[in-house]
């Protein structure tokens, strides 16, 4: 049989082994818990990232649509300005034609010139009579 001292050492070593096993299990549990927490935190961060990415993407497409609308408005304005410039040129030409008598008004222009000459002649006669 084993002496009591040996039994005590053996019991103490078994006790230390059991204690080491408990500490080892506790450490493994802590590592597992930390790994699970890390996975949860990573998943939460990924969800936040995706949400922000979707938000930024939506803002980008919204701005892109605004740019397309602005381009359309600019194009429409350019067409309107071109139409107005064309109309102004037509009106200026019409005025020139009327002033030069080309616009189907040669008789009226001739009559106006004739009346101007008559008016000048009347003024001349009137001024010569008032001088006398």
Higher local confidence (pLDDT), 5 or 79? 79
Mark residue 101 as left, alpha or beta (left: phi above 0; alpha: psi -120 to 50; beta: remaining): left
Kindly tell me if the per-residue pLDDT of 1 is higher than 60.
Answer: no
Instruction: Report yes or no: 82 and 74 within 8 Å, Cβ to Cβ.
Output: no
Span 69-128, pLDDT tens digits: 999 999 999 999 899 999 999 888 877 877 776 655 666 777 778 888 888 888 887 777
Span 31-77, pLDDT tens digits: 999 999 999 999 999 999 999 999 999 999 999 999 999 999 999 99
Mean pLDDT score across all residues of the chain: 88
Distant-in-sequence, close-in-space partners of 100: CB < 8 Å, separation ≥ 6? 109
Q: Model pTM greater than 0.85?
A: no
Residue count (the chain): 132
């Amino acid at each position: 049989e084993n002496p009591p001292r040996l039994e005590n050492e053996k019991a103490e070593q078994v006790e230390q082994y059991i204690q080491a096993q408990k500490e080892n299990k506790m450490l493994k549990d802590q590592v597992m818990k930390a790994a699970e927490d890390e996975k949860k935190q990573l998943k939460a961060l990924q969800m936040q990232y995706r949400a922000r990415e979707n938000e930024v993407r939506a803002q980008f497409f919204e701005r892109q649509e605004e740019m397309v609308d602005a381009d359309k408005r600019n194009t429409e304005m350019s067409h309107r300005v071109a139409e107005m410039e064309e109309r102004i040129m037509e009106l200026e030409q019409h005025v020139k034609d009327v002033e030069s008598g080309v616009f189907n008004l040669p008789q009226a222009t001739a009559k106006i010139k004739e009346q101007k000459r008559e008016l000048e002649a009347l003024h001349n006669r009137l001024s010569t009579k008032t001088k006398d």
